[in-house]
Amino acid sequence: MQFWPAERLPELHELVNLARQSSGPVECQLEKGGRVFSCLASWLPGRRHYLLKFNDITEVRELNLRKKEFVANLAHELKTPLTSISGFLETLEEENLSPEGRGYLEIIKRNTVRLVRLVEDLARLSELEEKGLELEKAPLDLVGVVQAVVEAYRKEASNKGLSLRLEAEPLPLVEADAFQMEQLVINLVDNAIRYTEQGGVVVSLKPAEGGVWLSVTDSGIGISEEHLPRLFERFYVVDKSRSRRTGGTGLGLSIVKHIVLAHGGKIEVRSSPGFGSTFSVWLPAAGAHSQPA
């Protein structure tokens, strides 16, 4: 792309103005002549110049789009045969099998459950990426959603000898998609219980900074610092064998992050190996739009 024709683009003017007011470089995407460019603008106050860097990302973007389409189609296509396999496994359970046969059946069942979970998580992630900010949001009382999830997990926690407590203060409503919020809380509580062997899990809800803080604290194995920056990437797992044993897919936190961002919120994690972890999500109150610092 030639610089002069590009300079006439209103988006570029806006970017240059933004760069002048900002202390660091600012970035935007421009479309011109059927190609997409990532554009980085820096204001050099000493020389009173702008530095503009264009990068043609047409192919990369196209490839990303194809990849997302492929994953969405794959997840969809795998659902039908998996439903059939799960159904016939249940039928087989009622058969008079030899102890050896029953052992094999257990292995098939365990792996089928894992596969179903993986396909469901992939489908969820694809749907979130596709819908993005067009979720069905409405003013929502988070206490009710969290209460229901905590009750649903009570048995699982007590089976492991763990306590599970909800501490809720009076809250403003949040502008949120109820189904996605439930998914978010499920993923955090499910992880907290799966990665904790002693003690328990506390879910807390507090009003703060024009919104609501939802925190899930556990007294589990914790996560060492070097893993924290990559925790929300898809398929990132700290300990592959433990994650596989506990039925993890490496997609749970990636789904959580997508939901938080689609609601204009933010997520933080604090953890100490051997002592436990706290995942905190801030969501704006209905009618508020700015994030806390």
The residues binding ligand ADP (CB under 6 A) are 191-192, 195, 218, 220-223, 231, 236-239, 243, 248-254, 277
Minimum CB separation from ligand ADP for residue 194, in Å?
6
Angle at 125 between CA 124 and CA 129, to 5 degrees: 120
Min dist CB 117 to ligand ADP, Å, is 8
CB of 252 to ligand ADP, least distance (A): 3
Nearer to ligand ADP, 171 or 186 (CB): 186
Nearer to ligand ADP by C-beta: 267 or 285? 267
The whole-angstrom separation of Cα 226 and Cα 154 is: 32
**Min dist. Cβ of residue 251 to ligand ADP (A):** 6
Tokens 């924290």 belong to residue: 228
Q: Classify each residue of 219-234 as buried b or exposed e, where b means 16 or more C-beta atoms within 10 Å of its C-beta.
A: bbbbbeeeeeeebbeb
- Between CA 87 and CA 34 the distance in angstroms is 49
Reading phi first (left if > 0) and then psi (alpha if -120 to 50, else beta), residue 258 is in alpha
How many residues appear in the chain?
293
Question: Which residue lies nearer to ligand ADP by CB, 172 or 273?
Answer: 273
Q: What are phi and psi of 286, to 5 degrees?
A: -55, 130
Least gap, CB of 55 to ligand ADP (angstroms): 30
Nearer to ligand ADP, 28 or 261 (CB): 261
Q: Which is closer to ligand ADP, CB of 203 or CB of 237? A: 237
